[in-house]
Chain A
Amino acid sequence: MPRKKVATSSLKGLTGASKKALQPLVDEGQAIQVIGRVVNGKLEIDSASISEFNRKFPNAKMTFVAVNAPFDPTPC
C-alpha cells in the first residue's frame, strides 16, 4: 500500500512522545511527506517529491501564493 509506505517514512527520526502522538494520524492516513530545504532564504522543494501532482495541478510554488506588498517597483 503506497500510503502506508509514505506514512511510515514520515515517522522516521521521531521517538517517544512525538512518535506516539503522530501514530494515530499516520494510522488515519493523514501523514504525507515533503522533502526540501531552504537555501539562502529560498524554498527548494525536491522535484521528485512533487512530481506526482506537478503534471496535474497548478504549480504550488507559483500559484495561489500570498502577495502583501507592492508587486512592481516601477512607478506608473
Chain B
Amino acid sequence: MDVQTLLNSAPVSSGVMDIARCALSEREPRPDCPRYFHALEAALSEGTPVFATEFYTDTYRTASESGKWLAVSLMSNAEREGDGAKRLWSLAACCNDADDRQLLKRHACDESRHALLYLALLDLAFPGAVSPTFRKELDQLSPHFSMDQELFAVPGSPYAHEPSTDDYMQMNIAEIRTTIHHLMQRQALNAHCPSQNMAKTTKILDMLLRDELSHVAYTAVLIDRNAETASQSDIDARFSKRLRDFNRITEEELEQKVFE
C-alpha cells in the first residue's frame, strides 16, 4: 500500500497492518522487517484494536462535526506532541548508540515541530478562534527543540533511560494510532476549514503524515534489528502485550465520553 492509496481509503479501512506496510514502503531501500511483521501479525491475531474499528472513527466523526470540539482537539494534540517531544528528548539523551541517538533526536525535533503545526492548523481552520494572548501562550506547548541543540535528560523524566526494544515497540504502536487519527483529522478539517485556507492546510497535513509514517518505519526497523538477537516468540509476546496495553489506554480514553 502506498501513501496515495492510504489517503484515498476511509480511515477505518486503513488497518494497522496497512499503515505499517505503507510506512516501510516509503523507505529506500525498502526494508523487509520480517521479525517486526511477524510480531505485528501475532499481536493483531488477538483481535482488532479499538482504534482501528468503525466505532472509533464514527465516534470521532460525530464529535468533530462540532468546530469547537475540533479546535480544542487540535490544541490538545499540540500539547501531547510537545509532551512526547520531551520524552523522546530524554530517551535520546540517554542513548549510547550514536546512530539510534540521532534518530531519536530527529524524532523529538519532529514532535516539537508538530506541536506548532497543530497550532497552525488551528489558525487556518478556525481563524480568530482564540485570543491573541492565548494564541501566544499556546506556542509554549512546543519545547522548540532543534537538531543543533545539545541533548539533555528532562529533569524528573521517567524516560531518562537507555532506550530499549520495548520503548521502540510502544512508539511504533502509538505512531500507528496517531496515523489513524491523522487520517480522520484530514476529513474533519476538510469539512471545517475555509476554502481559501485549504491549500495551506493540506500542505501541513502532508508534512505531518510523512513524518508519522517515517516514525512508524524507523521504529519498525529498530525493532526488527534488535529482534535478531532474541527469540521470535519472545518478541511476539512483548509486542502483543504492548498492543493490549495501548488498546486498554485507548478504551479508557474513550470512556471519558458521556453520550446523552
Asked whether A and B interact, the reply is: yes
Listed in ascending order, the chain A residues whose CB lies under 8 Å from chain B are 10-14, 21-22, 25-26, 28, 30-38, 41-43, 45, 49-50, 52-73, 75-76
Say whether A69 contacts B63, CB under 8 Å. Answer: no
Q: Contacts A38-B138, A60-B76 hold; do A70 and B167 have CB atoms under 8 A apart?
A: yes
- Pick the interface stretch among B13-21, B33-41, B129-137: B129-137
| Set of chain B residues within 8 Å of A32, measured between Cβ atoms | 67-68, 71, 126, 129
Q: Does B31 contact A (CB under 8 A)?
A: no
Say whether B126 contacts A60, CB under 8 Å. Answer: no
The one of A68, A70, A71 that contacts B215, using a Cβ cutoff of 8 Å: A68
Chain B interface, number of residues (Cβ within 8 angstroms): 72
Closest chain-A Cβ to B117's Cβ sits at a distance in Å of 11
Say whether B72 contacts A61, CB under 8 Å. Answer: yes
Closest chain-A Cβ to B187's Cβ sits at a distance in Å of 13
Q: Does B241 contact A (CB under 8 A)?
A: yes
Say whether B59 contacts A58, CB under 8 Å. Answer: yes
The one of B60, B68, B78, B164 that contacts A53, using a Cβ cutoff of 8 Å: B68
The one of B84, B131, B253, B259 that contacts A69, using a Cβ cutoff of 8 Å: B84
5 A-B pairs whose Cβ atoms sit less than 8 Å apart in the complex:
A34-B71, A50-B69, A55-B260, A60-B63, A62-B76
Q: Contacts A31-B127, A45-B72, A60-B76 hold; do A76 and B88 have CB atoms under 8 A apart?
A: no
| Set of chain B residues within 8 Å of A37, measured between Cβ atoms | 134, 137
| Set of chain B residues within 8 Å of A72, measured between Cβ atoms | 170, 242, 245
Q: How far is the CA of A50 from the CA of B59 in the complex (A)?
A: 18
Q: Contacts A34-B72, A36-B134, A50-B72 hold; do A58 and B257 have CB atoms under 8 A apart?
A: yes
